[in-house]
Amino acid sequence: MTAPVLEVTDLAISFAHPRPAVVSVSITLGEAEVLALVGESGSGKSMTARAVIGLLPEGAVATGSVRLRGEEVLGLPEDQLRRIRGRRVAMVFQEPQTALNPVRTIGWQLSEALRAHGRVRGKAARERAIELLREVEIPDPEERLGFYPHQLSGGQKQRVVLALALANEPELLLADEPTTALDVTVQAEILALLRRIRDRTGTSIVIITHNMGVVAHIADRVVVLRQGEVVEEAETHELFARPRHSYTRQLLAAVPRLPVPGEMHAVPEPEDSAGVPALEYDDVRVHYGSRMRGRVLPAVDGVTLRLDRGQVLGLVGESGSGKTTLGRLAAGLVPLAGGRVRVGGEDLAAARGRRRVDLRRRLAFVHQDPEASLDPRFSIGDAIREPLDVHGVGSRRSRDERVLELLDAVRLPASFLQRRPRELSGGQRQRVALARALTLDPELLIADEPTSALDVSVQAEVLELFASLQRRLGFACVFISHDLAVVNKVADQVAVLRAGKVVESGPAARVFGDPAHEYTRRLLDAVPVPDPTVRDATGPALRQHIA
Amino acid sequence: MSESFIDVAAPEVQAPHPDEQFDQRRRPSIWSALRHGKGLVGVILVGAVVALGLLAPLLAPHAPTEQIAGANLVGPSGAHWFGTDEVNRDIFSRTLYGIRTDLIVVFLAVPIGASIGILVGLVSSWWSFTDVIAQRVFDLVLAFPTLILAIALTAFVGPGLRTVFFVIIAVELPVFGRLTRTSVRTVREMPYVEAAHVVGAGSLWQLRRHVLPNSMEPLLVQLAVSMSVAVFIEGAMSFLGLGVRPPEPSLGSLIRDGVRNMYDAPFFAVGPLAVVVVLVLGLLLVSQALAEARRA
Amino acid sequence: MGAYLVRRVPSALVVLVIASFAIFAMVRLVPGDPVATLAGPDATPEARAAIEADLGLDQPLVSQYVTWLGQLAHLDLGTSYRIGGQVSDLVADGAVNTIVLTVAALVLAVAVALVSSVLAVVLDKSWVNAALSFGNTLAIALPTFVTGLVLILLFAVVFPVLPAGGTPPDGFIARPDIAVQYLLLPAVCLALGAGAALTRFLTEALRTEMRQPYVTTARALGISRRRIVLTQALRNALPSTVTVLGIQFGTLLGGAVLVEAIFTWPGLGGLIEDAISGRDYPLVQVLLLLSVAVFVVVQLLTDIVHAWLDPRVRIAGGGTA
């Protein structure tokens, strides 16, 4: 019996600073197998992969054993590791935007990868590079060799990164969140490509992901990690059908899901409700780029939408669809090029002086990035108080009481008042941002991807908190997200955007359950469903769809 | 481990929650960089020179312009630590008083130039119209190499301490104006400033509460750098005969006199040179320590 | 790229025109009467008026300015009041010396910065870094007049191996071996600060590049660290380094004034000092304008080179998300 492609035993990785990143991880990987390493942030999944390829960050100490076909890798000197990297183990990273050298052509980078292991040079290298680009299904490979990374789309960049990894025909491919930074439709294409590469070349793949949908879509076997330890290991179907460990069950439960198509019954479109809507977009247009530079691009192109009081409007779409711009428009953060935006019936752009301040009081904004959404110099208490201070609401004491009330409403203890944002986790910071947004009892809340930077289980908590607050306080909300399942969970109404235009809008249940537009259907199809049985059923269909 | 992940009622008490891995270390204020290593050395060097300057009347054995009979260009001795100059004055005493001139430049002219620059940068960067004008003016002033600007200004107001003062303000104003503008532009677009803007906080509020406090650190680093540059400018101007007029001593003018007597009395320039090096080095170390603390 | 030039060149011209007017106005506002200086205290009003008319000082300021611009366009720079001779000759003589000195210093600074920063990042040893950082801080902390004096004391007074100052008697071309001896001390003195600043910047830029994800990608492909530094990190750090180089060139020009004074090097620095103290209008304004023009041109050049080095500016992106 030959040794397995990869065998990791009792791997532990520690740093001088806090607790160990990896406590004890053991994995075995067979020929042409796709293994998924699943876990939330801090589970040690990326560190494990880096240990395999010998690229641990400085100061990391690894113990245990990592064997490639029986040969020990851990503790090898740099020059021997270098011969293994790229040649026997290759790695694909999360962010294709930065994974390629911006000032070198694609062809140069490919030939550099080939040169590293002294295989081919010159004309032969060029031919091999073309062949590699063809392998990752990039059109016009000859021409693309002369391209710089910025001339390619995100998905194409990730394909080039994949081509680099495959250049020296490694036995093992490590893919660290290879599709996380991509749009869903692109993600589906890359996942399909990975599987085809495995089928064609017999390369074993370790895919590192937090996304249960991706796992269900591609993996043969799954290892669930938590806090640097393996909690469960199982064949994919088995894991989804009968998760044994409670943590796996929690992870699966926390994943927001979309309705299964066809299960939906017809939902009546609500009749035009009376009363002043909370927010109205009336043939709104926004341009990006400056006229001086001669390139004016429409970011939002003739959007008309309305949001009734107490309702949640979900804006969904891929990058470049204009969803974020629409949200910023409602908050008055972007200048309009045409049309009207009315908040509670009043034109935000036209309001001046006192009226403008009054109007602004009724608005609030929650930003995507928990790192930057709070002023690092403000204590949590001061951050939540700020809107009250701005408008001079009530006495000092009543403001303090209100802050405590809000902290309690977002389920944070009063002891957090004196803390600084730096001392809070991402999920806690987003809750504080939510509390601050609710300080003045807004009529309209704009939430721009408020949970996309959070782990699934934390996202589930924040979403649940958001939904219950929304029901209790009855504010209207524009909820922006690239994640259809998340929007499905919180939104009453949904608008699907593409290239600055509304493709389809209506009640969430109807749009997601029974999409009227072809693009919506494609978006929905591309979302990897956290259920491996679906993959078996739809796999071929997906392939067709990409072709 | 707790099974109640999804139960949000008490998530904070679950210790190994995956979302709990935040950095527990409080970020130390950048001032603490001055309490050890490079920063401490810098503070000690600067402190020593400042103390010498402030205590000059107590420490100096002679008045700075006092002419001592019979002591013409004598080398360093117990009576005259740095020797005496060509008109029989005690160089050590002149150096101590000369430090005072430089202290005025470093701790008065630079902060004045910096304050005006920061103010202009803050106000102008808020509107695109004033921003463009301010940037053009800054470009224009920065287009002159410092010393050529100094020479030109001297032509305008004549040599003297006042000119050194003007030159430093003229040089530092655009430097700080530009830096402030960069900071303002960056901080203004931070989500927390936008969040304040959305709920109705006015420009003044945003500037005072968020933008200015969060822009302080780079400005502080620049202040230390500019102070060391100021010592250099004073020295260079006096060296070229554009600075402090005799018989008033300054570090730069002492070095100039030293150079004039370099072949007869090579010791002359050594004392003032050493003081200048210590002062510049100290300020530079402080700025480097602050910059490193900021990056960490 | 073409569009980039179209945007960038006019704004440089605007700075130049504004600067030329500012210089012109400033020179005229300087206290001190050139007519009195030239004519002497006992001159008759008629003699004064004659001199005034000769210099064009009786015309309104704006028309004087326009006349001056016209002369500039014909490279007719006028006659020096005090020093005597054609301004163009004076400037040309000084400019040659200053340019030789500045360019020598620039080459020296760039060479030192490239070698030491690449070494520091490739070796990545703590003692190398400590030594470099120490040398660097020292080189930046020592003001030019200090290093200049120390160099003279050391190499011309204590060990008299090199000339203490002046330019090579036979010019730069005839006896290059002697020219180098004359050039060495002032060039080193001038290069020291700029070289240290450049080294510091480039080392930091290379370290930042080495933390970029594309470097991790390259390392995961088995490419050696040294090769990554030389073929990838350096290439990425180059555009911003060119910008810094442009700024350092301005510093060098300013520093040249001082270095020329220390080493009695007859360049533009001494000329400008003499011209200002002598209220030599035609000379002063040409020299000031020249220094601004050089600075503006250098900045324009660095911007263009920067854009040309960065394919993201040179070639418009064709990719969409």
Q: How far apart are CA C21 and CA C16, in angstroms?
A: 9
Q: A27-42 burial by CB neighbour count: b if 16+ within 10 A, else e? A: bbbeeebbbbbbbbbb
User: Hunting for tokens 């064009």 — which residue is that?
Assistant: C56
Return the C-alpha torsion angle B168, B173, B174, B180, nearest 10: 140
Instruction: Name which of A87, A91, A152 is nearest C319 (Cβ-Cβ).
Output: A152
Partners of B22 on chain A (C-beta within 8 Å) are 422-426, 428
Q: A502-531 burial by CB neighbour count: b if 16+ within 10 A, else e? A: bbbbbbbbbbbbbbeeebbeebbbbbbbbb
Q: How many pairs of residues across B and C have Cβ atoms under 8 Å apart?
A: 113
Give the per-residue pLDDT at B27: 53
> CA of C174 to nearest chain B CA: how many angstroms apart?
31
Please give the structure tokens belonging to residue A300.
């939002």
Give the per-residue pLDDT at B9: 31
- Whether the bond between A141 and the residue before it is cis, its omega within 30 degrees of 0, is no
Per-residue pLDDT for chain C (321 aa), expressed as one digit of tens each?
Answer: 666 677 778 878 887 888 888 888 777 776 666 666 666 666 677 777 777 776 667 777 788 888 888 877 777 777 776 666 777 888 888 888 898 999 999 999 999 999 999 999 998 888 888 888 888 888 887 888 888 888 888 888 788 888 887 877 777 777 778 888 888 999 999 999 889 989 989 998 999 999 999 999 999 999 999 999 999 999 999 988 888 888 788 888 888 888 998 888 888 888 887 777 777 777 877 888 888 888 788 888 888 888 888 888 777 654 433
Cβ count within 10 A of residue B13: 10
Give the per-residue pLDDT at A451: 87
Q: How far apart are CA A245 and CA A248, in angstroms?
A: 5
Q: Which residues contact A151 (CB under 8 A, 6 or more apart)?
A: C315, C317, C318, C319
> CA of C98 to nearest chain B CA: how many angstroms apart?
14
Chains contacting C (3+ CB pairs below 8 angstroms): A, B
The answer, for C224 touching chain A at a CB cutoff of 8 Å, is yes
Q: Kindly provide the residue ranges of all beta strands, DSSP E only, lying in A409-475, ordered along the sequence.
A: 444-448
Please give the structure tokens belonging to residue A13.
């990785």
Give the per-residue pLDDT at B11: 30
B-chain residue closest to A443, CA distance: B199
Query: Are A84 and A74 a contacting pair, CB within 8 Å?
Result: no
B-chain residue closest to C25, CA distance: B156
Regarding predicted confidence, which is higher, B215 or B71?
A: B215
Give the per-residue pLDDT at B258: 82
pLDDT, tens only, A362-400: 889 998 887 788 998 899 999 999 999 988 888 889 999
Q: Is B29 exposed, middle or buried (0-12, 13-18, 19+ CB in 10 A)?
A: exposed
Q: How far apart are CA A421 and CA A499, in angstroms?
A: 36
Instruction: Name which of B142, B235, B258 is nearest C143 (Cβ-Cβ).
Output: B235
Q: How far apart are CA A513 and CA C74, in angstroms?
A: 79
**Phi and psi angles of residue B25, each rounded to the nearest 5 degrees, phi first:** -70, 130
Give the per-residue pLDDT at A542: 43
- Asked if C138 and B232 come within 8 Å (Cβ–Cβ), the reply is no
- Asked if A440 and B9 come within 8 Å (Cβ–Cβ), the reply is no
pLDDT, tens only, B209-260: 898 888 888 898 899 989 988 998 888 888 888 888 878 888 888 888 887 7
C-chain residue closest to B137, CA distance: C15
Q: Which residues contact C156 (CB under 8 A, 6 or more apart)?
A: C162, C163, C164, C165, C185
- Asked if C222 and A161 come within 8 Å (Cβ–Cβ), the reply is no
The answer, for B135 touching chain C at a CB cutoff of 8 Å, is no
pLDDT, tens only, C173-228: 777 788 888 889 999 999 998 899 899 899 989 999 999 999 999 999 999 999 99
- Asked if B192 and A375 come within 8 Å (Cβ–Cβ), the reply is yes
Mutation target vs C (from A150, A157, A162, A177; most C CBs, 10 A cutoff) = A150
Nearest to C69 by CA among C214, C285, C242, C227: C285
- Asked if C141 and B228 come within 8 Å (Cβ–Cβ), the reply is yes
Q: Is B199 left (phi over 0), alpha (psi -120 to 50) or beta?
A: alpha
**Phi and psi angles of residue C22, each rounded to the nearest 5 degrees, phi first:** -60, -45
Give the per-residue pLDDT at A261: 60
Chains contacting B (3+ CB pairs below 8 angstroms): A, C
Helix (H) or strand (E) segment spanning residue A362: none
Give the per-residue pLDDT at A311: 92
CA B97 to chain centre: 20
Give the per-residue pLDDT at A203: 93
CA A76 to chain centre: 35
Between the alpha carbon of residue A129 and those of residues A105, A123, A499, B138, the distances in Å are 12, 10, 33, 50
Q: Which residues contact C48 (CB under 8 A, 6 or more apart)?
A: C35, C36, C39
> pTM, whole model, 2 decimals?
0.82
Q: How far apart are CA B71 and CA B265, in angstroms?
A: 13
Residues in chain A with pLDDT < 70?
1-2, 16-19, 260-274, 289-297, 535-547
Give the per-residue pLDDT at B127: 78
Instruction: Name which of C22, C29, C149 is nearest B273 (Cβ-Cβ).
Output: C149
